[in-house]
A and B are shown apart, each in its own frame.
Chain A
Amino acid sequence: MDSIYVKDLVKKFGGFTAVDSVSFSVHEGEIFGLLGPNGAGKTTIINILTTILKPTSGFVKVAGIDIKNRPEVRRNIGIVFQDPALDNKLTGRENLDFHARMYGLDKKSRSSRIKEVLELVELTEKADVVVEKYSGGMKRRLEIARGLLQKPKVLFLDEPTLGLDVQTRRKIWHYIEDLRKEENITILLTTHYIEEADYLCDRVAIINEGKIIAVEKPSKIREMVGGEIISVKIDGKAKPFKDELIKNGLAKEINERNGLLDITVEKGETKLPLIIKKADKLGLNIDYVSFRKPSLEDAFLKLTGRKISDEFNNIGKKGS
């Protein structure tokens, strides 16, 4: 059964179309990612799915309920907003208690659930400290815990790790993985970290300027790019080198970024020595070579002709 069903969703702000005829569905128990650059429309989609914004047109069901039935949808979802939404003057526990009461949990389930979620995000020790004194990562973890308190059927995470350091980010990924094991839950998350989508998501929708470009498994998307990618940094003119590689059929495609040449090849293992030899012949020095399977970043670049974010980094890369 589909836990989220979105059909021809459109959201206009005045004359500007922020979400442009988007359709997708998320299966029960799935972790689904919306991946796209700033302003792609990710938050707007989440706001509509969580009943905060009304769509201009389209049909949406969340947890099997039409989003026109606001109260019923709300009872079945949990949300972690992109921007912090904690009361800094309250302690972590008081924030959770507030939430639990707003969602009508009784005394017994309040205390047991609060204990459980605090343990999940490893905040038990800090539970009675005012949130003001939390670090950014702790605040984020508390918000994730809060989103889970009412045992939602669907959890929305809008940029769960934005602005956090690598270690904290990895920790949060682990919580989300644990979550999937322990609670029967569907998760829709947005991110512009490719690695995050790659690591966590069963499927991702790549979204750009309000439109979905592809919905696939991360591995499938990598396959769409095809072959492997050899990045080289050469000392000298790139142009003749590029032409030569293409002409000889050594490369399928070459992109330049950050002074690197990304050379897409088939059977990279055999092509790499040939490419180096070619450079030698042209009298070019190679300063640096890396060899990798294509990432979602490469896929995004290929699908949209646009980099996903300038702060792209290699954290948590699997199998590189």
Chain B
Amino acid sequence: MAKKEVNLVVSMFGFFEINLSAVYALWVRDIIRFYRSKSRIIGTLATPLLFMVFMGFGFSGSDVFLGNVSLDYKIFLVPGILGMTILFNSTFAGISVLLDKEFGFFKEVMIAPVSRISIVLGRIAGGTTITIFQSSLILFLSTLLWFKIGSLFGFILSLAYMFLMSVTFISIGLAFASRMKDMHGFNLIMNLFIFPLFFLSGALFPLNRLPEPIKIISYINPLTYGVDGLRASLTGFSEFSIMTSFGATLFFALIAVFVGAYFFEKSEYL
């Protein structure tokens, strides 16, 4: 054992402990991997950009109604596209633990003398940083096209939403990964989970277009509140009050972290 050892361990209520240096190590690793893979940066930006550009121009000039206010579809769409970027990238970031399993690195992580919750938090730290970076980039590109951010405060608030939303979906991705053996199930999750959440979130069209029974699903969909919150903070128009959307987004993030950590704790080593 090395003589000098830092004990950057935070004990939470005596229940579990967090090894900060492990969280940091995992975070750094994710960042390095991200900036080394140019194709991943471009690949993950391409889909939301294409959606934004073509749907934006395609429906340009048509108005959508939020409650009884009307809004240009192009403006309505941008926060939805941010939501899409966050949903897809974060869920994938969580599930990508399975790639580590495939390439053997998972063992190196799991055998280290650190708590599992530290590993979960390290993953979340890396994934949220990357997701926030990417969605900010999309937001920036949208301002070059047609979008105008309402206020500085609104922008900062939108970052908070981005953060909470990525925490939610990374954790859900981790929970999925804990129950899966390899990436083969990813397509299934894409079709049965990610796409339905996306379409039923109000990202592409307002919820009032949906039939009543399906609306219920929208109301328990974490993405709904995230997208609405982003829309509120960036454009000033929204379905729910900021209090509602922020409260719900925070609530879902906390629940998701606990669920993700729980499943990860229970998962097999190899």
Q: Decide whether A and B assemble into one complex.
A: yes
A residues at B contact (CB < 8 Å): 47, 50-53, 71, 74-76, 79, 81, 83-90, 94, 97-99, 101-106, 108-109, 113, 130, 150-153
Instruction: Provide 15 A-B residue pairs closer than 8 Å at the C-beta atoms, listed in order of the A residue.
Output: A52-B111, A71-B113, A74-B112, A85-B104, A87-B33, A99-B112, A101-B21, A101-B25, A102-B21, A102-B22, A102-B113, A102-B114, A106-B5, A108-B4, A153-B1
Q: Which of B4, B29, B103 contacts A106 (CB 8 A)?
A: B4
Known: A101-B21, A109-B2. A90 touches B32 (CB 8 A): yes
Residues in chain B near residue A130, CB distance under 8 A: 36
Asked if A86 and B105 make an inter-chain contact with CB atoms under 8 angstroms apart, the answer reads yes
Q: Mark B26-54, 1 if CB is under 8 A from A, else 0.
A: 00110011001100000000000000000
Asked if residues A90 and B104 are in contact (CB atoms below 8 Å), the reply is: no
* B3 surroundings in chain A (CB, below 8 A): 109
Residues from chain A with a CB closer than 8 A to the CB of B269 are 52-53
- CB pair B104 A89 closer than 8 Å: no
Closest chain A CB from B5 CB (angstroms) = 5
Is B6 an interface position by the 8 A CB rule? yes
Using A75-B1, A89-B32, A101-B24 as known contacts, list a sample of 20 further A-B pairs with CB atoms less than 8 Å apart, ordered by residue number in A.
A53-B269, A74-B111, A75-B113, A81-B107, A83-B104, A86-B104, A87-B29, A97-B25, A101-B22, A102-B25, A102-B112, A102-B114, A103-B113, A104-B5, A104-B21, A105-B6, A108-B4, A109-B2, A109-B4, A150-B1
The reply to whether B105 and A103 contact each other, CB–CB distance below 8 Å, is no
Those of B202-222 within 8 Å (CB) of chain A: none
**B8 to A, closest residue via Cβ:** A104
Residues of B within 8 A of A52 (CB): 107, 110-111, 269-270
A113 with B2: CB separation less than 8 A: yes
Neighbour of B1 across the interface among A85, A94, A152, CB < 8 A: A152
**Complex: A76 Cα to B5 Cα, angstroms:** 13
- Which A residues are in CB contact (< 8 Å) with B108? 85-87, 99
Determine whether the beta carbon of A150 is less than 8 Å from that of B2.
yes
Q: How far is the CA of A83 from the CA of B107 in the complex (A)?
A: 10
Contacts of B6 in A (CB 8 A): 104-106
Residues on A with C-beta less than 8 A from B7 are 104
Please give, as numbers and ranges, the residues of chain B lying within 8 Å of A113 by CB-CB distance.
2
B8: chain A residues at CB < 8 Å are 104
Residues of B within 8 A of A97 (CB): 25
The answer to whether A79 and B111 touch (CB under 8 A), given A87-B105, A90-B32, is yes
- The residues of B that contact A150 with a CB separation of less than 8 Å are 1-2
Q: Does the CB pair A50–B104 fall under 8 Å? A: no
Chain B residue contacts of A86, Cβ below 8 A = 104-105, 108
A84 (CB) vs chain B CBs: closest residue = B104
Measured CA separation A87–B37 after assembly (Å): 13
Instruction: Say how far A255's CB is from chain B's closest CB, in angstroms.
Output: 39
Nearest residue (CB) in A for B22 is A102
Residue of B nearest to A95 (CB): B108
A89 and B33 contacting across the interface, CB-CB below 8 Å: yes
Closest-by-CB residue of B relative to A110 is: B2
List the A residue with the shortest CB-CB distance to B6. A106
Residues of the A chain whose Cβ atoms lie less than 8 Å from the Cβ of B103: 84, 87-88
Q: Give the shortest distance, in Å, between B97 (CB) and chain A (any CB).
A: 13
A151 to B1, CA, bound (A): 5
Q: How distant is the Cα of A130 from the Cα of B104 in the complex, in angstroms?
A: 16
In the complex, A76 Cα to B112 Cα: how many Å? Answer: 11
Do A74 and B107 contact each other (CB < 8 Å), given the known contacts A105-B4, A105-B5?
A: no
A98 to B31, CA, bound (A): 12
* A106 vs B24: C-alpha distance when bound (angstroms): 13
B109 contacts chain A at the CB level, 8 A cutoff: yes
Interchain CB contact under 8 A, B25 and A89: no
Top 6 A-B pairs ranked by shortest CB distance? A101-B25, A102-B112, A74-B113, A85-B104, A106-B6, A85-B108
Identify which of A50, A79, A106, A108 gathers the most chain B CB atoms within 10 Å of its CB. Answer: A106
The residue on A at minimum CB distance from B118 is A102
Instruction: Output the nearest chain A residue to B24 by Cβ-Cβ distance.
Output: A101
Contacts of B32 in A (CB 8 A): 89-90, 94
Assess the B28–A98 pair: CB atoms within 8 A.
yes
In the bound complex, CA of A76 to CA of B2 (Å) = 10
Complexed CA–CA distance, A300 and B241 (Å): 77
**CB proximity of A43 to chain B, nearest CB, Å:** 11
Residue ID in chain B nearest A130 by CB atoms = B36
List residues of chain A with CB within 8 A of the CB of B168. Answer: none
Given contacts A102-B22, A102-B112, A106-B5, contact A89 B36 (CB under 8 A): yes
Asked whether A76 lies within 8 Å of B111 as measured between CB atoms, the reply is no
Query: Does B249 interact with chain A (Cβ within 8 Å)?
Result: no
- With an 8 A cutoff between CB atoms, is B158 at the interface? no
| C-alpha gap A83/B269 in the complex (Å) | 15
B227 to chain A, nearest CB (A): 32
Residues of B within 8 A of A151 (CB): 1-2
- How many angstroms from the CA of A52 to the CA of B7 in the assembled complex? 24
Question: Nearest CB to that of A98 among chain B residues?
Answer: B25
- Contact check: which of A81, A103, A106 meets B112 at CB < 8 Å? A103
Contact bitstring B235-270, A, C-beta under 8 A = 1, else 0? 000000000000000000000000000000000011
Question: Nearest Cβ in chain B — how far from A190, in angstroms?
Answer: 16
Given the complex of chains A and B, what is the CA–CA distance between A150 and B37 in angstroms? 30
B37 neighbours in A (Cβ, 8 Å):
89
Q: How far is the CA of A52 from the CA of B111 in the complex (A)?
A: 7
* Chain B residue contacts of A83, Cβ below 8 A: 104
Q: Are B2 and A98 in contact (CB under 8 A)?
A: no
